[in-house]
Structure 1
Amino acid sequence: MLRNASAQIFRQVVRYRSTETNLILERSINRVQLLGRVGQDPVMRQVEGRNPVTIFSIATNEMWRSGEGETSPTGDISQKTTWHRVSIFKPGLRDVAYQHVKKGSRILVEGKLDYGEYMDKNQVRRQATTIIADNIVFLSDNSREKA
């Protein structure tokens, strides 16, 4: 009985029925957190008639042990680095990131995934995955600023 009541409440929270068109709009989540190191100093770009955007890349590493010693410390350690493109459109965050994010900095980026297409210089259609950041946490001081 309690489980059934909980499910009904959950459905009411997650689903919204439009009375005008009788559509059911469901809520969803597109949330990403990346913890890694910045691969390049950010650049700020502005396309005519649009707000500027700050862009940089962040590297995340995945490590695993393979071979005979998968369960013991004697196995081979492998590592895969994945590069992520980060774009920031929020005016305050965009400017702070442009000024303070530096190559090699360790940061946490929170945002959402965005998929898009563009034409490269050879007029070939390419796909791009971007993290649209809405929060950045600075985790390390940049040694270049101290020098």
Structure 2
Amino acid sequence: MLRNVSAQILRQAVRFRSTDSSLILERSINRVQLLGRVGQDPVMRQVEGRNPVTIFSLATNEMWRSGEGETSTTGDISQKTTWHRVSVFKPGLRDVAYQYVKKGSRVLVEGKLDYGEYLDKNQVRRQATTIIADNIVFLSDNVRDRT
């Protein structure tokens, strides 16, 4: 599988030339895969004149052991949680995400990174990073349903 992905990337990295020799078009890749737990039930928002969007947060964890050496079984275990904002614009996926993604669910989100700016309620310019999802894989039932 890794060989297929590598071959695909190499094929996409090939430069394509147009009839204008000064213009070189290159393919590029903006892909993200996140595996984590949903932090809040999704909300659906719609700005006037635009398509609706389903939004939820996703937590990913990074764990490491600090101690004598990398293979040591002694030492403290540390963990860092990173929160990601996920937006779903695709019509079918947007509705499924709104209906079935629940707080605590374990999901795999595939998509692309998007960077933007907005004005907060105090009219201060803020930057935001969003994952634009084009696929969601449900890996477990809701944590609350298991208790």
Structure 2 distance, partners of 1:96, 1:143, is 19
Question: What does 1:106-125 align with in structure 2 at a 5 Å threshold?
Answer: 106-125=106-125
Distance 1:145 1:18, change over 3 A: same
Q: In structure 2, do the counterparts of structure 1 residues 108 and 124 end up closer, same or farther at CA, with 3 Å as the change threshold?
A: same
**Bigger mean CA offset, 12-21 vs 103-112:** 12-21
Distance 1:89 1:56 in 2: 12
The residue that corresponds to 1:50 in the other structure is: 50
Once the two structures are TM-superposed, the CA of residue 14 in structure 1 deviates from its matched residue by 1.8
- Cα deviation code 1:87-128 (max 9, x no counterpart): 000000000000000000000000000000000011110000
* 1:82, distance to aligned residue in structure 2 (A): 0.1
- Corresponding letter in the other structure for 2:114: D
State the superposition RMSD in angstroms.
Answer: 2.0
Q: Please identify the structure whose Cα radius of gyration is greater.
A: 1
Per-residue displacement from partner, 1:46-66 (whole Å, max 9, x unpaired)? 000000000000000000001
Could you tell me which runs of 5 or more consecutive residues in structure 1 were left unpaired when the two chains were aligned: 1-9
- After TM superposition, the structure 1 = structure 2 runs for residues 31-70 of structure 1, keeping only pairs within 5 Å, are 31-68=31-68, 70=70
Q: Which SS does the other structure have where 1:94 is aligned?
A: helix
- Find the aligned partners of 1:22 and 1:69 in 2 and give their Cα distance: 54
Q: Gaps spanning 5+ residues in structure 2: where?
A: 1-9
SS in structure 2 of the partner of residue 136 of structure 1: strand
Does residue 135 of structure 2 align to residue 131 of structure 1? Answer: no
Deviates more, 1:100-109 or 1:21-30: 21-30
